[in-house]
Amino acid sequence: MLELLALLWGNCCHAQSHAPASHVISGSIHDPSDAAIVGAEVGLTLPDGRIVAQTKTDSYGNFRFSGINLGTYRVEAQHEGFRETTAIVRVIDRPQVAMKIVLPIAVAQQEVTVASSEAVPLVSNDVAENQNANTIERSALDQIPVFDQDYIATLSRFLDNSSLGTNGVSLVVNGVEANGPGVTNSAVKSVKINQNPYSALYSRPGRARIEIETKGGSAQYHGEVNVMFRDAVFDAKNAFATTKPPERRQYYEGSVTGPVGRNKKTTFLASVDEDRDDQQAFVVAQGLNDTIRANVPTPSQHFFASGRIFHDIGASDQFWIGYSYEQSSRKNQNVGGIILPEAGTNIFNVEHEVNISYRKVFSPRLLNQIHFLLGHQDTPVTSTTAAPSIVVQGAFIGGGAQGDSKRTEAHAEGADIVTYDRGKHDLKFGVEIPDWSRRGADDFTNFLGAYSFASLAEYAVARPANYLVQRGQGHLVFLEKNVAGFIEDNVRVTAGLQVSVGLRYYFQNYFHDDSKNLAPRFGFAWAPGKKSKTVIRGGGGVFFDRTGPRPIADLLHFNGVNLQRFIVENPTFPVDPGSLFAEPTSLVVLDPRARIPYTIQYGAGLERQITSQSTLSVNWIGTRGIDLFRSLDTNAPPPPLYAARPDSNLGQVRQLQSEGYQKSNAMEVSFRGRPTHLFTGQVQYTLSKTYNNTSGITYFPGNSFFPENDWARADTDSRHRLNLMGTFALSHYAKLGTAFSAYSGAPITVTTGNDDNHDGISNDRPAGLPRNTLHGPAFVDLDLSLSHEFMLTRGKKEGPSLTAQVGGFNVLNHRNDVTYVGVLTSPFFARAVAARSPRQMQMNLQFKF
């Protein structure tokens, strides 16, 4: 039925077109084992060498050029580790047959000269080929310093915090939004940030998402095994540790792919990892009599396994199904700084997922891809100590964590994406379900209560500022629905100009005014001249946010009936439980005017190819956050006396609003490529300024009657950011991977430690002092890795190999302080109580076959 509809629709489009038809050249790139090559550079040129278009193969090894006139062309394909190959194609006035190009393995000399973080970068007037993107291909992932084999965290340094939504970074796997990669690290093909920043196919802008391409099945057996080891005996001592702790981490990971039996059309991919991490946290707190310093073990374990079966149907169609299982445990979480060991929590997580994907190629012009995921997750959290929580502002947090809860989730995700090429148009449209979940939210936090003291002096005389406790039904089940639809047309207006126009619609339940959630997107890329080495590009778009499950759970929990929250001002210590019956309960409500927040982002830039293998780009990016989430106490005691709440029958009434605003401007300079035969990589410098009046949906202004006074530097505002990542080819025998980051400090808010306006929240600032006035410490980090590959087959440059790598992280041993204290009553005021890791060493062994 789907095939019939597609053919009818294609014929209809053809019948309605009276203009001379332009044509499509499409095909796929493979290695000698018939495995698809992802990210191969494909160029289309005329016989005299003039460039017509350039692109890269997608996650299935396919490429497509649309809007091509009749004539003879050369298709040139290249990828790291393979010899460049050229094929001649003649376009005539009838449908073209998809090409299949096989790239031979490169000879030894070529392998030495192409050890790069990506293929040769060239400026392109393709809207999706912006040169300020950050791309790390598989070969570079094995050579750059990656702490704990966490590629996502390594690339996250190139993200823009001002572009992130309520749920943080958006992860896109093989073109579809996902919760995780679904495979272990060695099965990751590439990692990208900011590719096609204004595309309608994605929910968030480019610098708010990470795109991952994973490996597929192979007709021949290939595999990889990684062993990683760290031990504190080789490391420096943390600045806040009492003694150097015996920390250790052991990580085992691998993947294998190959045919299932003798049928090379059916292949598999299996991957597994196990991680044992014995780390410690460092407590620096102030008690009544002396400073409290302690090293606290925070061990964690992680296990992940996945398997996928791929079946090729005909020449281009493919179906695959996969299953993954993940289990992790973490102990003594949140401990460190002023948080004492007794206030920690233990977290356990189990997750199952089933992935199904089907790609159908109806014709060289029409392709349909369907992806579907089913999963189930359980995450219980328990406090290490069953006792009331005691918070002394800026001095210590002790007692129990009061963090007991359980999150369960049965979720479905899916997408159906149709790609249609017609003349100068490359049309994509479809439906996406980012999340459709039955969620369980069991909230048993603060059942034993939490006391807050303004200072150590108040704690010494047992005089808390307020007491928070919860009673009632903590169990909750609800359904969260998120649905999106999109359409995007990439139009090659002329040989030098491409324009992208798109529209995305977004729906989420539990929030108002969903009918207006239309997000237009636009982009362009123009290369003046046929052989221009300069491209001018720009664009903009609207990007809607998602609340995530936590705000929905709060609305359903704290409705005055299910789960009751009591905030007692100036209570006795300890509180008489019987006195709570006289206290009014607190509520969480949704502002009738609330809507889903959205971000408007726009920018323009200039790209220039400065050598045969490197480019330089300069971009300006503007971001505006509209109707951002915040919380407001609509029953707070009014000024000037702040004596009593307007409605004495209620306590705090936390209203979820979308009244926040953010303004950000940035100038970004990016270099990527290979300026010399010694270095390949990317460098990026960003000068930015971000102001807002909210830090998210859980943020309360210092005074609910004057929220406009909270307009100031954003919590994440870092004026200068410099990132470098790349590889130095020291010789034929060794490669030096490098990652360097330097950021100016983020701001800190000064608070009094008291609840001066009697609203139950100790976030009051001194009179007349804006938010975020203190300037935090700068961050400097240099990571290095030295690696050498040993070929295990004598006299050959291919086949099984063993790579040994030694990595050093924060090799300068620079003290990068975090957790600055801004409480005036604290003995640590304007000082740090925690720091990032000092210099650490890491050893890796990698076996490939």
User: In the block, which residue shows the tokens 């410098």?
Assistant: 685
Segment 618-634 mean pLDDT: 96
Flag whether 187 is in a domain: yes
User: In the block, which residue shows the tokens 């272990």?
Assistant: 184
Q: Helix H segments across 674-772?
A: none
CA-to-CA separations, 97 to 94, 306, 362, 363, 425, in angstroms, rounded: 10, 36, 12, 9, 19
Is there a single domain that holds both residue 103 and residue 34? yes
Flag whether 633 is in a domain: yes
Q: Give the model's pLDDT for residue 89.
A: 85
Q: What is the CATH number of the domain that holds 434?
A: 2.40.170.20
Is there a single domain that holds both residue 815 and residue 760? yes
Flag whether 124 is in a domain: no
- 3-state SS class at 271: strand
Q: How many angstroms separate the CA atoms of 128 and 194, rounded? A: 10
Q: Which amino acid is at 431?
A: V
Segment 444-467 mean pLDDT: 96
Flag whether 132 is in a domain: no
Q: Which of 395-404, 438-447, 503-512 has the lowest mean pLDDT?
A: 503-512
Flag whether 259 is in a domain: yes
Q: How many angstroms separate the CA atoms of 39 and 215, rounded? A: 12
Q: Residue 341: name the closest of 290, 282, 301, 404 by CA.
A: 282
Residue, of 796 and 441, whose pLDDT is higher? 441
Residue that is last in its domain, among 72, 96, 114: 114
Q: Give the model's pLDDT for residue 676.
A: 86
Q: How many angstroms separate the CA atoms of 700 and 688, rounded? A: 25
Q: Give the model's pLDDT for residue 513.
A: 60
Average pLDDT score over the chain: 89
Flag whether 702 is in a domain: yes
Q: Give the model's pLDDT for residue 797.
A: 63
78-87, 605-614, 807-816 — which one is most confidently predicted on average? 807-816
Segment 486-493 mean pLDDT: 94
Q: How many angstroms separate the CA atoms of 264 and 310, rounded? A: 10
Is there a single domain that holds both residue 245 and residue 367? yes
Q: Give the model's pLDDT for residue 26.
A: 86
Q: Residue 823: name the closest of 770, 762, 745 by CA.
A: 762
Q: How many angstroms separate the CA atoms of 844 and 628, rounded? A: 44
| CA 226 to chain CA mean position, Å | 24
How many structural domains is the chain composed of?
2
DSSP code for 262: T
Does the pLDDT value for residue 2 go beyond 70? no
Q: Which of 50-59, 140-149, 196-205, 318-327 has the lowest mean pLDDT?
A: 50-59
Tokens of 579: 């006195």
Plot region of 755 (φ>0 → left; ψ -120 to 50 → alpha; else → beta)? beta
Q: How many angstroms separate the CA atoms of 177 and 172, rounded? A: 4
573: Cβ contacts below 8 Å, ≥ 6 apart: 451, 462, 463, 464
Q: Helix H segments across 62-137?
A: 108-113
Does the pLDDT value for residue 703 go beyond 60? yes
Dump pLDDT digits (tens) for 243-289.
999 999 999 999 999 999 887 889 999 999 999 999 999 999 999 98
Tokens of 494: 């002329």
- 3-state SS class at 513: coil
- 3-state SS class at 479: strand
Please give the biggest Cα pair distance in the chain.
91
Q: Give the model's pLDDT for residue 114.
A: 28
Is there a single domain that holds both residue 482 and residue 601? yes
Q: Give the model's pLDDT for residue 153.
A: 86
pLDDT more than 70, % of the chain: 93
Is there a single domain that holds both residue 65 and residue 147? no
Q: How many angstroms separate the CA atoms of 97 and 223, rounded? A: 33
| CA 713 to chain CA mean position, Å | 23
The β-bridge relationship of strands 389-392 and 450-453 is parallel
Dump pLDDT digits (tens) for 454-465.
999 999 999 999
Is there a single domain that holds both residue 434 and residue 578? yes
Is there a single domain that holds both residue 299 and residue 347? yes
- H or E stretch at 243: none
Dump pLDDT digits (tens) for 75-115.
999 887 677 888 888 887 666 667 888 887 553 222 222 23
Decide: 200 and 487 in contact? Cβ < 8 Å.
yes
Q: What is the CATH number of the domain that holds 66?
A: 2.60.40.10
Segment 487-494 mean pLDDT: 94
Flag whether 389 is in a domain: yes
Is there a single domain that holds both residue 475 and residue 584? yes
Is there a single domain that holds both residue 521 and residue 581? yes
Is there a single domain that holds both residue 75 and residue 174? no
Q: Helix H segments across 586-716?
A: none
Tokens of 300: 């964690």
* Main-chain dihedrals φ then ψ at residue 5, nearest 5 degrees: -60, -40
Tokens of 326: 């993940």
Query: Model confidence at 3, in pLDDT bands (50, 70, 90)?
Result: very low
Query: Model confidence at 118, in pLDDT bands (50, 70, 90)?
Result: very low
Q: Residue 725: name the closest of 712, 736, 709 by CA.
A: 736
| CA 4 to chain CA mean position, Å | 39
Q: Give the model's pLDDT for residue 348.
A: 97
Is there a single domain that holds both residue 504 and residue 637? yes
User: In the block, which residue shows the tokens 């590889």?
Assistant: 727
How many CB atoms lie under 10 A from the CB of residue 803? 18
- 3-state SS class at 349: strand
- 3-state SS class at 457: helix
Q: What does the CA dihedral 138, 140, 141, 144 come to, rounded to 10 degrees?
A: 170
Q: What does the CA dihedral 332, 334, 340, 343 come to, rounded to 10 degrees?
A: -70
Q: How many angstroms separate the CA atoms of 285 and 343, rounded? A: 13
Q: Give the model's pLDDT for residue 116.
A: 35
Q: Which of 131-135, 512-516, 760-764 has the lowest mean pLDDT?
A: 512-516
Residue, of 326 and 530, whose pLDDT is higher? 326
Segment 505-525 mean pLDDT: 85
Q: Give the model's pLDDT for residue 12.
A: 37
- For residues 521-536, one letter each, b for 16 or more C-beta atoms within 10 angstroms of the residue's C-beta and e for the rest, the string is bbbbbbbeeeebeebb
Q: What's the sign of the alpha-carbon dihedral 161, 669, 39, 260?
A: negative
Residue, of 35 and 816, whose pLDDT is higher? 816
Dump pLDDT digits (tens) for 198-238.
999 999 999 999 999 999 998 889 999 999 999 999 999 99
Dump pLDDT digits (tens) for 285-338.
999 989 999 999 999 999 999 999 999 997 778 999 999 999 999 999 999 999
Q: How many angstroms separate the CA atoms of 683 and 694, rounded? A: 31
Is there a single domain that holds both residue 752 and residue 811? yes
Flag whether 577 is in a domain: yes
* Main-chain dihedrals φ then ψ at residue 139, nearest 5 degrees: -65, -40
Domain of 752 in residue numbering reads as 141-848
Q: Residue 846: name the closest of 800, 783, 793 by CA.
A: 800
- For residues 342-359, one letter each, b for 16 or more C-beta atoms within 10 angstroms of the residue's C-beta and e for the rest, the string is bbbbbbbbebebebebbb
